[in-house]
Amino acid sequence: MAPVAQRVRGTQDILPADQPHWELMERAAHTAATRAGYQKIATPIFEATDLFVRSAGEASDVVAKEMYTFTDRGGRSLTLRPEGTASIVRAYFDGGLDQEPQPVRLFYLGPFFRYDRPQAGRYRQFHQFGVEVIGEGHALLDVEVIQVGWQWFSELGIGDLGLKLNSIGDEVCRPAYRELLRDYYRPHLDTLCEEDRIRFERNPLRLLDCKVPQCQPLKAKAPRIVDHLCGPCATAFASVKGALEAAGIPFELDPSLVRGLDYYTRTVFEYQHGSLGGAQNALGGGGRYDGLAAELGYRSTPGVGLAVGMDRTLLILRQGSPGQAEGVDVYAIALEDGDQGYAFQLASTLRAGGLRVVLDPGAARLDARLRKAARKGARVALIVGPDERARGEAVIRDMSAKTQVTVPEREIIAAVTQAVGAA
């Protein structure tokens, strides 16, 4: 008989073997973020659809093709969150964080959902660690955010990391640059790919995103926005570059790194890793979004953030040494059925004493069960049979030395703790 259901396409199970890596990523996120004064926040997995339509933009791939949208029983249109920033900005105002001393520094970890074409490093449910700084527009905060991400990778021992950087200006300088780009592309429209012809009309900045080979020569010579920034944007960009240099974070200017939405301002960046080939080499990215709060209907409030992908980072961590699995101190074995209750009681006593205890529920031969204990990595086996039960004792076996002692129940925590420490 076939199983009634399979794992849904584009999802993955993070199995126990990967959990050491996963927990390492979570701990590194906590460390990197809290060291710089960021506080953890968790927002719902689903939100009103409009929140994402507004924040990602009607014409974006995310909204046009990738959202998991459904109508609930009350007739509301809801969407599984495709990214974190819009929800965080909403929560910042909903939760009154805008009334606290500014800026507010937040971080989050969790699953996100996009109906994308699944492949290695691209899933329909994926996971991100992200940070946001809201309520203050200083360029040094851009660098702080980049540095928290950098620190995260460094906590994970991931080298071979590249940082790409660009500025996309603001509402003062970008409109003129957009026209400049149109003027540049206009005479060559017939040589462009189909998508670029649409971008030319709707969103010329996205022309710089194009990966189609036939469009590359033209793109390479396109005017660069960093050469057309207004005074304040140019000053901010110079501060960002200067502070990155001072922080010892190497970066590469990439004039084709853009965001297609008007509320993105100034700094945009992306982390890339050499070992992830092709289009999936981006480990994370972010930028400044000074126009987002107003776009969502709130008071105009600056913000900057980053999101890194945990699933792709897991692929890199797997290339290294396997992580340290969660250990077991004691493997508890009852020799006969009638001894199970006694073994269960001793296991509870040991757990209450802070030890990690796995109870063997089986009835196999002792040597087979000791092999299981070894496979579990237990340092001590606790063995009870009818004699031990009758006398209120237990046998404690040191799994590596293969020696054993019999101790009375009241000494069991002390004896096991000592044996575990010695093993």
Binding residues for ligand AMP, rule: CB under 6 A, are 83, 114, 116, 121-123, 126, 128, 282-285, 307-309, 311-312
Residue 17 burial (CB count, 10 A): 11
CA–CA separation, 114 vs 126, rounded Å? 8
Provide, rounded to whole angstroms, the least separation between the CB of residue 324 and ligand AMP: 25
Per-residue tokens: 316: 């890199």
CA–CA separation, 26 vs 314, rounded Å? 11
Provide, rounded to whole angstroms, the least separation between the CB of residue 123 and ligand AMP: 4
Q: At what angle do helices 19-35 and 139-155 cross, to 10 degrees?
A: 150
Provide, rounded to whole angstroms, the least separation between the CB of residue 328 and ligand AMP: 32
Q: Which residue has the tokens 């009870």?
A: 384
Provide, rounded to whole angstroms, the least separation between the CB of residue 14 and ligand AMP: 13
90 vs 114, beta carbon nearer ligand AMP: 114
47 vs 329, beta carbon nearer ligand AMP: 47
208 vs 307, beta carbon nearer ligand AMP: 307
Which of the 8 DSSP states describes residue 226? G
Give the three-state DSSP class for 70: strand
Q: How far is CA 9 from the centre of its chain?
A: 20
Provide, rounded to whole angstroms, the least separation between the CB of residue 56 and ligand AMP: 10
Provide, rounded to whole angstroms, the least separation between the CB of residue 9 and ligand AMP: 12
286 vs 385, beta carbon nearer ligand AMP: 286
Cβ contact 307:287 at 8 Å? no
211 vs 391, beta carbon nearer ligand AMP: 211
204 vs 284, beta carbon nearer ligand AMP: 284
CA–CA separation, 80 vs 379, rounded Å? 44
CA–CA separation, 286 vs 275, rounded Å? 21
Provide, rounded to whole angstroms, the least separation between the CB of residue 102 and ligand AMP: 25
Q: Is the peptide bond before 103 cis (omega within 30 degrees of 0)?
A: yes
Cβ contact 210:195 at 8 Å? yes
Residue 315 identity (one-letter amino acid): L
Q: How far is CA 111 from the centre of its chain?
A: 8
122 vs 376, beta carbon nearer ligand AMP: 122
Q: In what order do the strands lie in the sheet with 403-408?
A: 357-360, 330-334, 380-384, 393-398, 403-408
Provide, rounded to whole angstroms, the least separation between the CB of residue 124 and ligand AMP: 7
- Nearest-CB residue to ligand AMP? 309
63 vs 308, beta carbon nearer ligand AMP: 308
